[in-house]
């Protein structure tokens, strides 16, 4: 480019040349950083929600150890115990996803100018986030539920 411009007019000073991609990247750097930061915070929020749900369900199972032991001693199968604990986790997950969706719809108005090529009310985005959140939450519920099925009824009843 320098050679061609010098051939046209040698008195032109060509100092800071940049490609169009460099100009575009520089103009979008602030928005990209903001979205990267939002993504990091979203991942941290998902991790905190997972750990929190795991803690709530694990504490509930620990508090119900005696009850689970009695149920198993009276004939409840491991499947019955697993489904009872998972139902509790599913209920908490459904309430959380519904409240989160409502909050996201309300907050979507504030983030409208930060979104590019995506609507603030795009149903596919909301469905994807709900599915990922529910899958992670149910995975966090599965660990305490699995532990509850491994409970020995005799030691659970002797526990106190």
Instruction: Look at the alpha carbons of 150, 154, 157, 158 in this order and tell me if their dihedral is positive or negative.
Output: negative
Whole-angstrom Cα distance, residue 52 to residue 72?
27
This prediction's pTM: 0.69
For 113-157, how does the pLDDT look when each residue is reduced to its tens digit (9 = 90+)?
Answer: 767 677 778 889 899 999 999 999 899 999 999 998 988 888 777
pLDDT bracket for residue 62 (50, 70, 90): confident
User: CA 35, 36, 40 angle in degrees (round to 5)?
Assistant: 115
Check if the beta carbon of residue 71 is closer than 8 Å to that of residue 80. Answer: yes
**86 Cβ partners below 8 Å, 6+ apart?**
138, 141, 142, 145
Whole-angstrom Cα distance, residue 18 to residue 117?
27
Whole-angstrom Cα distance, residue 35 to residue 31?
6
For 65-104, how does the pLDDT look when each residue is reduced to its tens digit (9 = 90+)?
Answer: 888 888 888 888 999 999 999 998 899 899 999 999 999 8
Whole-angstrom Cα distance, residue 156 to residue 160?
8
């Amino acid at each position: 480019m320098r050679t061609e411009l010098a051939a046209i007019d040698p008195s032109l000073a060509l100092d800071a040349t940049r490609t169009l991609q460099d100009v575009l990247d520089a103009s979008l750097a602030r928005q990209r950083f903001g979205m990267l930061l939002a993504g990091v915070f979203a991942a941290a929020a998902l991790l905190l929600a997972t750990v929190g749900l795991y803690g709530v369900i694990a504490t509930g199972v620990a508090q119900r150890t005696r009850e689970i032991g009695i149920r198993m001693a009276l004939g409840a199968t491991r499947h019955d115990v697993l489904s009872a604990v998972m139902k509790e986790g599913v209920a908490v997950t459904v309430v959380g996803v519904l409240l989160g969706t409502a909050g996201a719809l309300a907050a979507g108005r504030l983030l409208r100018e930060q979104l590019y090529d995506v609507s603030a009310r795009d149903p596919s985005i909301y469905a994807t986030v709900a599915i990922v959140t529910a899958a992670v939450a149910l995975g966090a519920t599965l660990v305490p539920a699995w532990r509850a099925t491994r409970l020995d009824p005799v030691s659970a009843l002797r526990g106190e």
